[in-house]
Amino acid sequence: MRLQKLFFMVATVLWLSASTQARRAEDFPAAKELAKSEGADILVFYHGGEWCRAGEQLKSRVWNHQNFEAALPKLVLLAIKQSDLPDEAQKQRQEKNKALFKAWQPWNFPGLALFDSEGRLVATREGLNVGMQPAEFIATIKAMVAIREKRDQCWGVETNRSREQAVALGKGLDVLEFSIASRHYKKTLDKIKKLDPKDRCGYVGVYEFKTNPFIEGKIHPLKRKGLTTHQEVIAELDTMLENPVRPIWQQQEIWAMKSAVYAFWSGQEKNHSECLEKIIALDPESDMATGARRQLESDYKRAW
């Protein structure tokens, strides 16, 4: 307890010298209004409820500590428990927090979610450890805020060239987790499209990348129709690989689709193996690489 108190005292002195104390809100609309007026981020703490031991302990030891607000940068704080999730018994709170749960649907609790002053999701951290100390808890929050700051730094590049503006916006999206950027930043992607209609910067191709529609629409029909050549599909996948900003995991998925095409294209065993080897070379420690190694084993039976 002494160490915890000492930490909060030191953190308070440091933050008060550099920032405004965090403030609390009762619901998401109130948090958004306060954040917008003060230019602050919104930090949501989802703690499950009274039955959740980890959440209750973190709420008691850290979130509800009397010096917690002073130990943080300028933030609007909002605590949500499981009973605040939409259900018939909580209609009033359901309506107030509807926008929150539409933007963030936590799977593990306790968890944290950071929104910017415009209400856009920036980062999440779920399944927080019950033994998390105040210093680690606050360090986690600061790391989330740093993501928003880095995003804004990318977006703050001044240029009159449309393509350079598009690249700056794309680099800002790259700072975020892909699932957050692709789902919650449609307006930003629309700006990129407008600035770079031919997608020479490549970011539209990255953030509109979806494997399932391509597999269902292009690859599966090849096998059903019994075609003897699939060069057009391979060429289309090769074009995707030319994207200069394509992340490694997307490159791996494209090579996996190429391997699937070669797998049922007679006489293409060598190309099939080369695609799997490329997946491994791109990121040897990834799950995709593990799957590729398995397929290269002599006893592997293809499902295609």
List every span in the chain annotated with CATH 3.40.30.10: 2-148
Residue range 112-163, pLDDT digits in tens: 999 999 999 999 998 888 888 888 999 999 999 999 999 999 999 888 999 9
**pTM as predicted:** 0.82
SS3 state of residue 78: strand
Token pair listed for 215: 């597999």
Least confident among 95-99, 205-209, 234-238: 95-99
Residue range 278-287, pLDDT digits in tens: 999 999 999 9
Least confident among 8-22, 26-40, 88-102, 128-142: 8-22
Predicted confidence at residue 224, as pLDDT, reads: 74
Predicted confidence at residue 18, as pLDDT, reads: 42
Predicted confidence at residue 17, as pLDDT, reads: 42
Residue range 252-280, pLDDT digits in tens: 999 999 999 998 888 899 999 999 999 99
What region, left, alpha or beta, does residue 300 occupy, with left being phi > 0 and alpha being psi -120 to 50 degrees?
Answer: beta
Is residue 246 within 8 Å of residue 202, measured between CB atoms? yes
Sheet strand arrangement including 41-46: 23-24, 75-80, 41-46, 111-115, 121-126
How confident is the model over 63-86, as a mean pLDDT?
A: 81
Q: Percent of the chain scored above 70 by pLDDT? A: 81
Predicted confidence at residue 90, as pLDDT, reads: 55
Predicted confidence at residue 210, as pLDDT, reads: 93
| Cis bond before residue 110 (omega within 30° of 0) | yes
Helices within 117-268 (DSSP H only): 134-155, 162-175, 178-184, 186-195, 203-207, 211-214, 220-225, 231-241, 248-263
Q: How would CATH label the architecture of 2-148? A: 3-Layer(aba) Sandwich (3.40)
What region, left, alpha or beta, does residue 112 occupy, with left being phi > 0 and alpha being psi -120 to 50 degrees?
Answer: beta
Identify the residue with better confidence: 94 or 232: 232
Predicted confidence at residue 85, as pLDDT, reads: 52
Predicted confidence at residue 88, as pLDDT, reads: 47
Predicted confidence at residue 15, as pLDDT, reads: 44
Predicted confidence at residue 223, as pLDDT, reads: 72
Residue range 24-59, pLDDT digits in tens: 998 888 999 999 999 999 999 988 767 677 788 888
